[in-house]
A and B are shown apart, each in its own frame.
Chain A
Amino acid sequence: MGLKRSGLSPALAALTTAAMTLPGISTIVKAGAVANEPKLSLQYTRYDEDSIPSGDAAPEAGDRDRYEIDVAQIEFLYPINGQWQLTGGFVYDDMSGSSPWFVRPTNADGTGDPLVVMSGATIDDTRYDFSLKADYFGEKFTISPSIGYSTEKDYKAVSGGVEVEYESPNKATSVRGGVAVSFDEIDPTQLAGVTRVNNEDKDNFSIFGGLTQVINKYTVIQTTLGVSHFDGFLSDPYKQVWVAGSILPDSRPGDRTQYTWATRLRRYSELLGSALHVDYRFYYDDWDVRSHTLDLGLHKVTESGWALDTSIRYYSQTQADFYEPFYRQARADGEYSSDYRLSPYGSFVFRLGLSESIGEWTVKVAAERYISDKSYSVQSVDVENPALLDYTAVTFGADYSF
């Protein structure tokens, strides 16, 4: 039983229609809802990458300590009226540490295990990221335009996008879609004796569409398809490759098209008094990188204001077609990268979060541990990139609702 729009009885349809014409009655079935009160969120994160193990580093590797990053985030959500809401965000990153520079074979003749050589000096950089998003909650549509600007010593990015969501009258189904663009400028810090590019551009255009469906009173599912295209300088200006004894710049194709299919499920368990989160993403791009990401989480909020969440994320990717840890011979297409990001591997993330709401305040603490290894990959990997990443991040945050 229940109110089913599809098989609405004629009498109910007539009464409802007449009621809808009464002034002051909500004829607006809002696709979303404006937040109740302004909210300020602050968050600080200490992000710390594990050092490269000595066995994976070349003797001349330099500092094996990788990045430590302090991240401060501020977000301010401001409901303007019943239909408009603004969200302003600011991120400050302060990073220092060394970064993998290139990978070389143990022996000069191109044999032996790959060893990583780190960037000589400690890199220090700060990044400032500003973003502004508006949400308009209309009769049937929610429209959310956004803009962003990110700047650091050697990199600038300007981005913008718009998302639209339509909710069906029975509120069981909604359709989402959106487009976004980003224009990035790279101006690498130059280093004596190393050839680096000057002033390069990278443009991105992405588009997505998806469906959200309420399955029953405990379950909702969302699925999204996306395509993203990058054009321009997609190499890493600070990375190099070992090619038959020579050191050449990292050099990747001038464009890249990425395809994603992502599905998220939320299911509430009365037994556990918790929400079960399942997120899965399949990714494929024309550099031949394929990946699976599965994120499983359990979120519990108690009546006394405590919230606890724990989740585990599994990720596995294949390598880009031109990737090698090092190259015994030159490639005809001149494309080279030994970046661990394009290597085959798998990773796990373990997360734990705790928060408590006291009056208008919510205080939060969370930690996450990321570990990656060739053996975690879904398919077998012969040679592991020696620069694979492990890190720990600890987060403290507070929300204040006005």
Chain B
Amino acid sequence: MGSPCELRLYANREQNAQQVANEAIAEINRLEKKYSRYRDDSVTTAINVSAGKKPGLEVDNETARLLDYAQVGYEQSDGLFDITSGILRKVWDFRSSRIPTQFEIEAVLPLIGWCHVEWVAPYLHLPFVGMEIDFGGYVKEYAADVAANICSQAGIAGGMVNLGGDICIIGPHPDGNGWKVGIRHPRNPNLPMSYVLLSSGGLASSGDYERFMLVDGVRYAHILNPKTGWPVKSLASASVYAEQCVVAGTSSTIAMLKGEDKGVQWLEDLGLPYICMNQEQEIYGTLKRVEGLE
């Protein structure tokens, strides 16, 4: 999925572990293929190609549930979590060091808005030609949950799935201790900003470090407000713990989109443990940190 992935399992026989790992990896690959917007044969491409055409597309059950989830995310975030906002990528090229003009941005804004989408399961209709949806904002976290669940179902009691920093714990180490998970420092990718100890559940992070550009000393990150089309001045990163990695991921994404004050308030209201760093590189949050060194 374009980022380092890691699957760690405890089993008494290597053969068993390998077999379970293969199943989990196959499932991750399946989801990657199915929802990649770069593949011609993906569901995402099929949906995007159908944009503007009546009567839309009938989608499979898994896709339907993912769309339902996107709708809930949209509603709960007052429209900030919007899977139709991916098209902004066409005007914001973070490798170019060029800020798009307001005119360019306004040209794509009409194509954005989950509220325009006609979604009556199992039929999805994107009303405008050029409208796109992108599952990239949460399918990786979902894949981590699925992979961890496959391992649990196969009887693995201890292990973890790490899909590029989105983590789902299968269970603690055999001695009962949790997994020590490092959280990436938004300004120094090689240095964890802190460690947390997890025995179950999911941890996901969102930050301004994934895609960004510095123009005249100002940081423009891919945390784009789908209503304005502009990057949000926000936290440097937000990491959230939830029982499901997908919920953790959505919550951290929404926190980033809300900006520092409202974002932190959102996490407090959710009651989910979090840890974040602001632009002043202050680290705070309710997720308990542990010492880093062994």
- Among A15, A37, A82, residue most surrounded by chain B Cβ atoms (within 10 Å): A15
- Summed over the interface, the residue pairs from A and B with CB atoms below 8 Å come to a total of 111
Report the bound CA distance from A402 to B156 in whole Å.
Answer: 14
Bound form: Cα–Cα A301–B175 in Å? 8
Q: Which of B10, B72, B146, B155 contacts A24 (CB 8 A)?
A: B146
CA distance A34 to B62 in the complex (A): 28
Assess A22 versus B69: contact at CB under 8 Å? Given A301-B175, A303-B175.
yes
- Evaluate contact between A4 and B155: CB separation under 8 angstroms: no
Are A12 and B244 neighbours in the complex by a CB distance under 8 Å? no
Asked whether, in the complex, the Cβ of B155 is within 8 Å of the Cβ of A79, the reply is: yes
By beta carbon, the residue of chain B nearest A36 is B157
Option from A18, A26, A303, A402 in Cβ contact (under 8 Å) with B69: A18
Partner of B155, one of A7, A14, A25, A37: A37
Contacts of A82 in B (CB 8 A): 152-155
Task: Report the separation of the CA atoms of residues A30 and B247 in the bound assembly, to the nearest whole angstrom.
Answer: 20
Nearest chain-B residue to A1 (Cβ)?
B286
Known contacts being A12-B272, A18-B69, is A37 close to B12, with CB within 8 Å? Answer: yes
Bound Cα distance from A43 to B159, whole angstroms: 31
CB-based nearest B residue for A83: B153
Residue ID in chain A nearest B71 by CB atoms: A18
Q: Is the interface of A mostly helix, strand, loop or mixed?
A: loop
Bound-state CA distance A20–B247 (Å) is 10
B183 contacts A by Cβ under 8 Å:
no
Q: Contacts A82-B152, A401-B12: A25 and B72 contacting too (C-beta < 8 A)? A: no
- The residue in chain B whose Cβ has the minimal distance to the Cβ of A30 is B152
Question: Smallest CB–CB gap between A264 and chain B, Å?
Answer: 18
* CA distance in complex: A22, B146 (Å): 9
Cross-chain contact of A21 among B10, B68, B149, B154 (Cβ < 8 A): B68
Instruction: Provide the bound-state CA to CA distance between A192 and B65, in Å.
Output: 81
With contacts A9-B269, A9-B271, A26-B149 taken as known, whether A36 is within 8 angstroms of B68 at the C-beta atoms is no
The reply to whether A37 and B246 form a contact with Cβ atoms under 8 Å apart is no
State whether A26 touches B148 (Cβ < 8 A): yes
| A16→B247 contact, CB < 8 A | yes
Interface contact A11-B270, CB-CB below 8 Å: yes
A15 touching B153, Cβ below 8 Å: no
A3 in contact with B271 given A303-B175, A401-B12 (CB within 8 Å): yes
Q: Is A172 an interface residue (CB 8 A)?
A: no
In the complex the two chains form, is A22's CB within 8 Å of B246's CB? yes
B61 part of interface (Cβ distance < 8 Å): yes
- Most chain A CB atoms below 10 A, which of B145, B250, B271: B271
User: Would B269 and A11 count as touching, CB distance under 8 A?
Assistant: yes
A122 to B58, CA, bound (A): 83
Chain A residues in 8 Å Cβ range of B154: 82
A236 to B283, CA, bound (A): 73
Chain A interfacial residues counted at CB < 8 A: 35
| A4-B271, A19-B244, A82-B155 known; A402+B12 contact, CB < 8 A | yes
Contacts of A394 in B (CB 8 A): none
Decide yes or no whether A234 CB sits under 8 A from chain B: no
A371 CB-CB contact with B under 8 Å: no
Interface membership of A35, Cβ < 8 A: yes
The residue of chain A having its C-beta at the shortest distance from the C-beta of B61 within the complex is A23
Which of A12, A14, A25, A402 meets B246, CB within 8 Å? A25
A193 contacts B by Cβ under 8 Å: no
The answer to whether B76 touches A15, judged by C-beta atoms less than 8 angstroms apart, is yes
Contact A24 B272 (CB under 8 A): no
Q: Establish whether residues A36 and B11, one from each chain, have CB atoms under 8 Å apart when the complex forms.
A: yes
**Please, which residues of chain B bring their CB within 8 A of the CB of A401?**
12
Question: Quick check: is A179 within 8 A (CB to CB) of the other chain?
Answer: no
Give chain A interface residues in 346-361, CB to chain B under 8 Å: 360
Q: B61-85: contact bitstring with A at CB < 8 Å (1 yes, 0 no)?
A: 1100110110011011000000000
Contact A2 B273 (CB under 8 A): yes
B167 within 8 Å of A by Cβ?
no
Taking the nearest CB of chain A, how far is it from the CB of B87, in angstroms? 24
**B35-64 residues at the A interface, CB under 8 angstroms:** 61-62
B251 interface contact, C-beta 8 A: yes
A15:B72 contact, CB within 8 angstroms? yes
B31 — nearest CB in chain A belongs to which residue? Answer: A24
Decide if B112 is an interface residue (CB 8 Å cutoff): no
B244 touches A25 (CB 8 A): yes
The reply to whether the CB of B27 lies closer than 8 angstroms to some CB of chain A is yes
In the complex the two chains form, is B65's CB within 8 Å of A21's CB? yes
By a CB distance below 8 angstroms, the chain B residues around A37 are: 11-13, 16, 155
Which chain A residues lie closer than 8 Å to B146 at the CB level?
Answer: 24-25
Is B12 within 8 A of A26, CB to CB? no
Query: Please, which residues of chain B bring their CB within 8 A of the CB of A360?
Result: 12
Please measure, in the bound complex, the distance between the C-alpha atom of A7 and the C-alpha atom of B270, giving whole angstroms.
10
Are B271 and A402 touching (Cβ within 8 A)? no
Provide a sorted-by-A list of 13 A–B residue pairs whose CB atoms are within 8 angstroms.
A1-B271, A4-B271, A12-B251, A12-B271, A14-B75, A15-B247, A16-B242, A19-B246, A22-B145, A25-B145, A36-B157, A37-B12, A37-B155
Residues of chain B having any CB pair with chain A under 8 Å: 10-13, 16, 27, 61-62, 65-66, 68-69, 72-73, 75-76, 142, 145-146, 148-150, 152-158, 175, 242-244, 246-247, 250-251, 266, 269-273, 286
Given contact pairs A2-B286, A22-B69, a sample of 14 additional A-B residue pairs in the complex whose CB atoms are under 8 Å apart: A3-B273, A11-B269, A19-B244, A22-B65, A25-B146, A25-B244, A26-B152, A35-B155, A35-B157, A36-B11, A36-B157, A81-B155, A82-B153, A402-B12
